């Protein structure tokens, strides 16, 4: 396999965490603009939900640490 062909195959390389693999990118590239807008909405809703869950967990940890320091 040529070096140019190899580097082309690595373009899809996921950006951690959770970037879709190359087979998913091929499907995404074939979507029409309306479906892409819907997909972006789903991705954003998912990212927001994950951020909210992370924030809630961090707040619980803060509360636990705070209650321990008062004892």
Q: How far is CA 49 from the centre of its chain?
A: 11
- Does one domain contain both 2 and 20? yes
- Does one domain contain both 62 and 38? yes
pLDDT in tens, 2-58: 556 656 655 655 556 667 777 777 888 888 999 999 999 998 999 999 999 999 999
- Does one domain contain both 50 and 63? yes
48 SS3 class: helix
- Does one domain contain both 40 and 62? yes
d(CA 6, CA 66): 52
- Does one domain contain both 26 and 37? no
What is the domain range of residue 39? Answer: 32-71
What's the number of domains the chain is made of?
A: 2
Higher pLDDT residue, 19 or 65?
Answer: 65
């Amino acid at each position: 396999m040529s070096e140019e062909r190899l580097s082309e195959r690595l373009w899809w390389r996921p950006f951690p965490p959770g970037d879709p693999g190359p087979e998913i990118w091929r499907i995404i590239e074939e979507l029409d603009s309306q479906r892409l807008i819907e997909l972006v909405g789903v991705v954003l809703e998912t990212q927001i939900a994950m951020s909210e869950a992370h924030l809630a967990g961090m707040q619980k940890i803060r509360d636990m640490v705070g209650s321990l320091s008062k004892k």
